Structures are given as C-alpha cells and as structure tokens.
Chain A
C-alpha cells in the first residue's frame, strides 16, 4: 500500500489554508472598508440633532453686541467640545456666554440644525462650505452621476457589444489580433489622460458642433466615460462569445441559416450571461470613475433631468458623487460635518454599486432559471 508522506500532507494543508485565506480576505476587506466609511459618517446619521454650523470668528463678530473676544471664545469653546457634545443653544445659554437677545442675533450662525437623511437625499442644494447656512442636498449629485452614466452606457453598450461581435465572429483572424491589441491599449490609458482629452479636445468639439457655451458637460463626460468602458465591454464580451463552443456555430450554420441569424439566435442567447457581465462591469466603471468625470463634466451642481423634452439636458455641466468626494474631502477638517457628509456620500455610492450588482445577479439568475 502506498502512504502519503507526512511532509507532503503538511504542504498541501498549508497551501489549502493559504488559498482559503486569500478567498476570505476579499470578504474581510469589503466589510472593513464598509465599516470604515460607515464609521466616519455615522455621527450625522445617528445624532440627528447636531450643529452643522461652521461660522468663523469674523462672521460672528459682524453681529451687533459681540466683540472679537466673545466671538473667539464662542468659536474656541465650540471647537473644543464640538466632537463630544455638539454646540446646542441650551449649552450656550447655560454657560452664560450670551444673553437671550444676543443669542437671537447669532442664532442663524450657531444654532443646532437637524440633519435629515431624507432631506439629504431629496434636496438639490449643495452648499457645504457656506458659513452662515451650509446645506447638504445630494439629489443633484445623484442626478449628475446617473445622467453621465446613463448617457455613456447608451453610447458604449451598442458600440462595445457590436465590436465584441465583430471581433469574435465577423473579422479575419489577422484583423482580430490587431484589434485586440489596440483595444487593450485603449484600456491602459490612465483616466487623467482621458480627463485631459475631455477638458481640451472634446470641450472644443462640443462647443463648435453643438454651439454650447461650455463644452465640459454631461455629453463630454459621457463620451469620455464611454471611451473608457468600451474596452472593458469589448474584451469581456469577446471572451464570453469565444467561450461558446464551436459546435454551436457549426450546428447552426449546418442548418443553412445565415451568419447573422446564427449570431442573433444562438450565439447571443448562449453567451448572454457573459455579455451581461461585460455591460455591468462597464456600468461599474462608469459609476466609479472619478478623475475623468471631474475634469470633463464641468463640476457644477446641476440637475440635468427635467420634465421637458428631451428630459436629459446633456449640454449642462454637472457634479457627480465621486468627483465631489475627490474634490472636497481634502478641504475639510477631519470629523467636521462636511467631512462626515462626504462619507455619507461614500456610503451612498457603495449602496448604488451594490444595487447594480444585486440586480445583475438577480437578472442572471432569472435568465438561468427560465
């Protein structure tokens, strides 16, 4: 009888564990990231009655009856205890810093404001840096992200799937190799370069072709994003089509149907899961892309959707969720309200991509069970 040597068994057990750790680490990382983002943003979600005022000494001094020393006392005391208790009206009065009349005057600057998650989601006013009245409404940012993603998908999905089909089924082997290499090169271009192209070339083109006043807008961002997602859709879509066994092609062609009928009726149904995955990864890239959209969309708070035809105004500048985080997080004090709001925006992004993935899973399952 043959015995496995102990050393070999140990080595295999070790390798098995290493592989297991690699697998589990993905889960751990996702949870750790989610936990961190949630932790940084939790203050605003749970203490819904918080002071989200960041008025400076200069702003408070302008109120009648408050001199510079009192103003600096208010501000410094406030920032000392800010993270612990939050500055509330009750606290100010109790500490005898102010009398009631003066309090009424500076109330707009320091009063406790309610942070409502519903208002955060549904209002369009994004003035996080306002001294007297900061407002955090992300609806326009969500609309910005969605408008750019939607338009870019309208461009990249037909182009991407079409190219994948062409490369996989219709072109000569020689052309196929060339195209594949070029498309891989396209995928390797850094996003800041795409942003630069958007800022310079596309900007000029859009202004001269559409007569728009600014060329950095939804359309610009969408075209840039489409150019970035097409290589992903093509390479994954092409893999999915290549994975369909040749026997399917031969069987269908042997029936005397045309190539297109074969592609449409046999190949696409056989590869639909892979093609769907290709589209979804493209969407994922479009939603998550930051640098290029920051440079190409104009970065102005705007809701490009409205009830009037054509519903999406592609020539308006927008600000997206990702670009907002990238542009503003560096400017905020750690732990400040603005900082926390940006983390809530991060949670929002997380939720959106999670929903996209979940929908994809359900759709794929639905197709499988049919």
Chain B
C-alpha cells in the first residue's frame, strides 16, 4: 500500500465513553476508491470508529476521542466547516432510519439543504440514488408517502439512497444488510462494486462472507483492538498471521 493512495489514515485512535474505553489505540489506513471491510463481533468498536470518521461522535456527551484521523492528509478534528465535512462522508446506520419525511424528501433532504433547488436536477438525483439502492421500482409510484411507513428492508435501502444523495467521497456502511433479503442484498452489492471505482467504501459487517465477497482489504477488530489487517484473500485464507482471525472467519466464535 502506497502512502498517497490512502483516503483515510488513522493513527492511535482511542475512544472511551465515560470510564469505559471501547477502542484501544488502533492505527490503519483505508485505501482510496476500494471497498474496505471491517469485521469483528459485537462490542469491538466498529460503530464507534465510524462515528469518529463522520464526526457524529461530537454529539455523544461523554465520549472522549484521542489520536489522529486524517482524510486526504487533513485532520478531521480540525476541519473548519464540520457540516461540509460530514457531507463528504455517507453513513448508513445498522438500524433502518426513515426520517419522518416523504420518500422523495428523505433523499432530497441533504442536497436541498446544501442549496440544490432545481426541480429537474433534484428529480434526477432522487431517481438515480433510489435506483442505486435498488428501491426505485418499489417506490416510484408513491414518492410522496412517508418514508417511515416503508418496511424495515425498504427503509434500509432508503437510508442507502439518502447516504448517496450528497455524493460522498467515503461511504460508511454499518451492517447495511441485516434487514434486507438476500436477493436485494446481492443487487446492492453489485452497485457497491460499481461505486467503489469512484468512492471509498467502508463496509462494517457481521457477515464475514459479505466482506470476503466485496472487500479488497479487510480489518479484523476484537474488543477494541486491531487484531489483523490486510488483503481480504489473505485474511480469509485460513493462513492469517493471528490465530484469532482464522478462528473468527471460520466461524469458531463471534
């Protein structure tokens, strides 16, 4: 991995909530324009790490973060326009969150708030994002109904469409497929492969096979420690450097 291709560079990241430390000084790099898998059982600090990357951790009152997180060489904790920074990061949360707006407004919310008001452009953008999230065919006739009334899986795809709506440089997917059926998951995975040529995708998942299918590089986190990071093929080869990795990917625990 060459230094210049790294999109995100994380050094000695420590996160604690109150007295409880959840991430114990991890360092890694996420290469530009590829899918980067993050695997690990629950409580391993995956979601907290994503919250640091898009800086929503600012809203957690008792959270304390130390270490360096750099995007394109710029320290994310020193960016002047934090709202503008968050636009560069797309986030898909593990639980589907349809905002209490219409389906159309859910997707158009972010672009509108940055000043895109042209109706035709918005229409085209909404359609493209919903198509990428494999949701367009199901909702194209009822864009005006409430996003919260969709089923769980549909809301999850709506969340993906919404994350794509502000054309992020980095797309963070946190367990995006737990509420989605396998066929639709496959459709979205295909879209992700396509998207990875133009944006960096961080794929946090419990489904180790999904990471194996999609990610070029994969990182294994356990209890807030970085166990191993490297090419996905190597991690899943059964010949990984750390025996815990081999156990986890083969399903021995987690």
**Chain B CB within 8 A of A42 CB:** no
Contact yes or no, B100 A270, CB < 8 A: yes
**Chain B CB within 8 A of A173 CB:** yes
Contact yes or no, A256 B95, CB < 8 A: no
A256-B86, A266-B101 known; A251+B110 contact, CB < 8 A = no
Contacts of A55 in B (CB 8 A): none
Instruction: Determine how close the nearest CB of chain A comes to the CB of B149; give it in whole angstroms.
Output: 11
**Chain B CB within 8 A of A18 CB:** no
Contact yes or no, A265 B95, CB < 8 A: no
**Chain B CB within 8 A of A350 CB:** no
Count class of interface residues, chain A: 10 to 19
Please report which residues of chain B, range 107-149, place their CB below 8 angstroms from some CB of chain A when the two chains form the complex: 109-110, 113-114
**Overall SS of chain A's interface:** helix
**Chain A CB within 8 A of B13 CB:** no
Please report which residues of chain B, range 91-112, place their CB below 8 angstroms from some CB of chain A when the two chains form the complex: 91, 93, 95, 97, 99-101, 109-110
Given contacts A247-B93, A256-B85, 18 further A-B contacts (CB under 8 A): A250-B97, A251-B91, A251-B97, A251-B99, A252-B99, A252-B109, A255-B86, A255-B91, A255-B109, A255-B163, A255-B165, A255-B166, A256-B84, A256-B86, A258-B83, A261-B113, A269-B100, A270-B99
Instruction: Determine how close the nearest CB of chain B comes to the CB of A263; give it in whole angstroms.
Output: 12
Contacts of A265 in B (CB 8 A): 99, 101, 109, 113
| A254 vs B89: C-alpha distance when bound (angstroms) | 8
| A209 vs B113: C-alpha distance when bound (angstroms) | 43
Residues of chain B at interface, number, CB under 8 A: 27
Please report which residues of chain B, range 62-89, place their CB below 8 angstroms from some CB of chain A when the two chains form the complex: 83-89
| A247 vs B165: C-alpha distance when bound (angstroms) | 19
Instruction: Determine how close the nearest CB of chain A comes to the CB of B116; give it in whole angstroms.
Output: 13
Contact yes or no, B86 A254, CB < 8 A: yes
A370 nearest CB neighbor, chain B only: B146
**Chain A CB within 8 A of B200 CB:** no
Contact yes or no, B114 A256, CB < 8 A: yes
Contacts of A313 in B (CB 8 A): none
| A282 vs B110: C-alpha distance when bound (angstroms) | 35
A247-B95, A250-B56, A265-B109 known; A255+B101 contact, CB < 8 A = no
Contact yes or no, A257 B99, CB < 8 A: no
